[in-house]
Amino acid sequence: MNEALPDLVVRFTIRHSLFRKERVEAALFALDAYGCVMKTDKMFNPGDTIMLDLVMDMPFDKIRAENISGLVTERRKHCSNFFYSIDFSDLKADGDTALEEKLRRIREVLSKKQSLKSRRSSGSMPNMRHMA
pLDDT tens-digit map of 18-59: 889 999 999 999 999 899 999 999 999 999 999 999 999 887
Which fold would CATH assign to domain 8-118? Thrombin, subunit H (2.40.10)
Structure-model confidence comparison of residues 119 and 128, the more confident one = 119
The pLDDT, as a whole number, for residue 64 is: 92
**Highest-confidence segment of 45-49, 88-92, 110-114:** 45-49
> 5-17: per-residue pLDDT in tens?
989 999 999 988 8
pTM of the model: 0.80
Q: Where are the domains of the chain?
A: 8-118
What is the DSSP code string of 28-78?
A: EEEEETTEEEEEESS---TT-EEEEEEEEE-SS-EEEEEEEEEEEEEEEEE
CA distance 98 to 100: 6
